[in-house]
């Protein structure tokens, strides 16, 4: 009798119902989320500890070096300037042909925009030119080759290659390849 005279929010049965409702929702939510998880392969604790030690050791042993600095410069330029393009791989190697301590850059990019062949070629040639010009400011880079993939036109492989070499203070186009799909 006492319970019936109280306001609905002051009754213990109301709060019991709310609590049970929330509990049911939580259980159902956990069941639905649990169905979507893939079974995880358990890794022994010792193996996890060994992997962590190896990763830490690698980080400590690998100083960045000049090739790493050049790679970071390219990544920063790419992130700031080349919209619609993704980095596939960047290789920075010593130029053993000149043996003067300079570096050769091989930059592999993928152009992901859905443009016409003409616009795609225009973008990737300008991006390649711009990268070579910016790397010309880095005195120890003697050659730059930019490879571009364009999955829209060729599923696997490059649609263009632009090779630049240093000529004094600037980079000049040494040779290029453009796939028939972009011409």
Q: What's the token pair of residue 29?
A: 């939510």
Q: 39-57 burial string, b = 16+ CB within 10 Å, else e?
A: eeeeeeeeeeeeeeeeeee
pLDDT of 26 reads 83
pLDDT of 60 reads 45
CA distances from 153 to 85, 93, 180 (A): 15, 30, 10
* E strands, the chain, in order: 85-94, 103-111, 141-149, 160-167, 170-178
* Residue that has been written with the tokens 């070629």 in this structure: 121
Taken in order of first residue, the domains within the chain and their CATH numbers are 2-60 (no CATH), 65-182 (3.10.310)
Average confidence (pLDDT) per 10 residues, the chain, 183 residues: 66 79 82 56 55 50 79 95 94 93 96 92 95 95 96 91 96 96 88
pLDDT of 61 reads 42
Give the pairing of strands 160-167 and 170-178. Answer: antiparallel
pLDDT of 24 reads 87
- The 10s digit of each residue's pLDDT in 26-37 is 887 777 665 554
Q: What is the distance in angstroms between the CA of the first residue and the CA of the last residue of the chain? A: 89
pLDDT of 101 reads 92
CA 94 to chain centre: 25
Question: How many CA within 13 A on the CB side of residue 127?
Answer: 29
What is the C-alpha separation between 84 and 133, in angstroms, rounded?
A: 20
Q: 156-170 burial string, b = 16+ CB within 10 Å, else e?
A: eebbbbbbbbbeeee
């Amino acid at each position: 009798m006492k319970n019936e005279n109280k306001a609905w929010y002051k009754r213990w049965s109301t709060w019991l119902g709310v609590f049970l409702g929330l509990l049911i929702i939580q259980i159902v939510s956990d069941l639905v989320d649990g169905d979507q998880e893939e079974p995880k392969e358990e890794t022994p604790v010792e193996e996890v500890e060994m992997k962590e030690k190896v990763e830490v050791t690698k980080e400590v042993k690998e100083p960045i070096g000049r090739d790493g600095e050049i790679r970071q410069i390219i990544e920063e330029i790419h992130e700031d300037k080349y919209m619609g393009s993704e980095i596939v791989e960047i290789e920075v190697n010593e130029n053993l042909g000149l043996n003067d301590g300079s570096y050769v850059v091989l930059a592999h990019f993928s152009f992901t925009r859905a443009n016409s062949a003409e616009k795609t070629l225009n973008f990737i040639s300008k991006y390649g030119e711009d990268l070579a010009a910016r790397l010309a400011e880095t005195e120890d880079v003697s050659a730059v080759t930019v490879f571009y993939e364009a999955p829209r036109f060729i599923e696997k492989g490059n649609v263009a290659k632009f090779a630049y070499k240093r000529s004094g203070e600037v980079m000049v186009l040494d040779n290029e390849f453009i796939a028939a799909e972009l011409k």
